[in-house]
């Protein structure tokens, strides 16, 4: 099938760019002497996760137990859930997975460790956990040294929980206004992660894994400090408008939304058939990743989505209107790929104008 014969709206992935992104990030990790454990929440597709593993990734990262279950069902056997898993039923699902896969997950509270310890009572394997360190994103994770030591002691004194290491996410780097500032935030975050790894070591609990994540520092090729063992970028595989802005070009953007022009009601207004339900209303307002509008129209400089309804994208551009007809198909470069992937049942992998494969988004909607 020709790419332009695909019914719209549709998620497209350019195969050549995809493979370049895979090769580039794996080469960077290899040269840096660290494991690559890509975050699959970006694409939610076992097919792409397997491509990442075939390229050399040590395992995959997910955000939810449901995503871990989908990846395990697909035969992926080394999974890290980079999140706190609270609730006995969810921890019980992880316990069931331990029989078939090597799985670890995040903690940042005594409550969590106590709950895990109880659920894993009598299990063949201990639960493997990494403590999350808050490094400036102002999200989850341990902040104070005393709380970290208390948590280490809780794990040490538990019967069914094994300490594997520490992890962090430097998502606040997305708001950096310059490359130099981004590098400063990245190095500060890495240093803070290593500091807590050192505290654990001095407490008699050396880290097997010291894991850091986010895409911008790695696509920019920043040095990875000694002591970091693993990186967890996600967006790099497909990229999007906001993170590509860090690079100053869109050559690494593999994913787009194919959409059809369905109306031209005024001299400057164009309507296409993808709205918030297929594009989201995501945009970034600060720093290098700031975006204009709700998505860029590929091949038309300066043309972007001005607004969306549930099923309609609204574009105000007289020049663009004069160049397209009702029934034409155009591609949109989305601002944020991760939530967009979650909206589609499948992606079309394309090359040279042809669909070469359809990849189910099997972890779509797996939010529990």
Question: Which domains are delineated in the chain?
Answer: 3-10+244-360 (2.40.37.20), 15-237 (3.20.20.10)
Gap between the Cα atoms of 284 and 30, Å rounded: 31
pLDDT digits (tens, 9 = 90+) for 203-227: 999 999 999 999 999 999 999 999 9
pLDDT of residue 50: 98
**3-state SS class at 271:** strand
User: How far does CA 137 lie from the centroid of its chain?
Assistant: 15
pLDDT at residue number 357: 98
Q: Kindly report, residue by residue over 314-338, the tens digit of the pLDDT.
A: 999 999 999 999 999 999 999 999 9
Nearest to 45 by CA among 82, 17, 18, 9: 18
What is the rounded average pLDDT of the residues 93-98?
98
Cα separation of 97 and 100, whole Å?
A: 6
CB of 322 closer than 8 Å to CB of 264: no
Distances (CA, A) of 153 to 45, 116, 161, 221, 269: 38, 15, 11, 37, 62
Q: What is the pLDDT of residue 49?
A: 98
What per-residue confidence (pLDDT) applies to 42?
Answer: 98
The DSSP output letter for 209 is: E
Long-range contacts of 324-328 (CB under 8 A, 24+ apart): 324/261, 324/264, 324/270, 325/261, 325/264, 326/261, 326/262, 326/263, 326/264, 327/260, 327/261, 328/260, 328/261
Q: Is the dihedral of CA 22, 28, 31, 35 positive or negative?
A: negative
CA 12 to chain centre: 17
| pLDDT value, residue 367 | 97
185 contacts 170 by C-beta, under 8 angstroms = yes
* Closest CA relative to residue 173, chosen from 162, 181, 165: 181
pLDDT band at 122; cut points 50, 70, 90: very high
What pLDDT sits at residue 142? 98
Give the tens place of pLDDT for each residue, 29-62. 999 999 999 999 999 999 999 999 999 999 999 9
Q: Which regions of 15-144 does DSSP assign to beta strands (E)?
A: 35-36, 60-62, 78-84, 102-107, 127-132
pLDDT tens-place string over residues 244-268: 999 999 999 999 999 999 999 999 9
């Amino acid at each position: 099938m020709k790419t332009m014969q695909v019914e719209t709206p549709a998620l497209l992935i350019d195969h050549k760019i995809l493979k370049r992104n895979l090769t580039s990030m794996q080469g960077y990790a290899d040269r840096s002497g660290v494991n690559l454990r890509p975050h699959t929440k970006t694409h939610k597709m076992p097919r792409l996760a397997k491509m990442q593993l075939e390229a050399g990734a040590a395992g995959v990262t997910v955000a939810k137990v449901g995503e871990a279950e989908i990846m395990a069902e697909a035969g992926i056997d080394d999974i890290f859930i980079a999140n706190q898993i609270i609730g006995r039923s969810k921890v019980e699902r992880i316990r069931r997975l331990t029989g078939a896969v090597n799985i670890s997950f995040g903690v940042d509270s005594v409550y969590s460790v106590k709950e895990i310890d109880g659920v894993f009572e009598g299990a063949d394997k201990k639960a493997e956990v990494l403590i999350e360190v808050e490094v400036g994103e102002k999200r989850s994770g341990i902040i104070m040294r005393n709380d970290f030591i208390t948590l280490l002691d809780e794990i040490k004194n538990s019967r069914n929980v094994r300490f594997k290491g520490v992890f962090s996410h430097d998502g606040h780097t997305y708001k950096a206004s310059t490359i130099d500032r981004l590098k400063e935030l990245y190095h500060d975050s890495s240093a803070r992660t290593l500091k807590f790894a050192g505290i654990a070591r001095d407490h008699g609990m050396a880290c097997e894994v010291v894991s850091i994540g986010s895409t911008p520092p790695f696509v920019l090729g920043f040095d990875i400090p000694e002591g970091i063992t693993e990186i967890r970028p996600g967006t790099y595989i497909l990229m999007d408008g906001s993170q590509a802005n860090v690079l100053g070009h869109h050559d690494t953007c593999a994913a787009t939304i194919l959409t059809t022009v369905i109306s031209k009601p005024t001299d400057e207004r164009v309507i296409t058939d993808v709205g918030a339900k297929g594009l989201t209303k995501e945009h970034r307002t600060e720093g290098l990743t700031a975006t204009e509008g709700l998505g860029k129209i590929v091949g038309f400089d300066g043309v972007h989505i001005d607004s969306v309804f549930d099923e309609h994208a609204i574009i105000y551009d007289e020049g663009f209107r004069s160049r397209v007809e009702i029934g034409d198909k155009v591609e949109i470069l989305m601002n944020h790929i991760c939530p967009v992937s979650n909206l589609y049942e499948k992606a079309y992998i394309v090359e040279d104008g042809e669909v070469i494969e359809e990849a189910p988004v099997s972890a779509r909607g797996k939010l529990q």
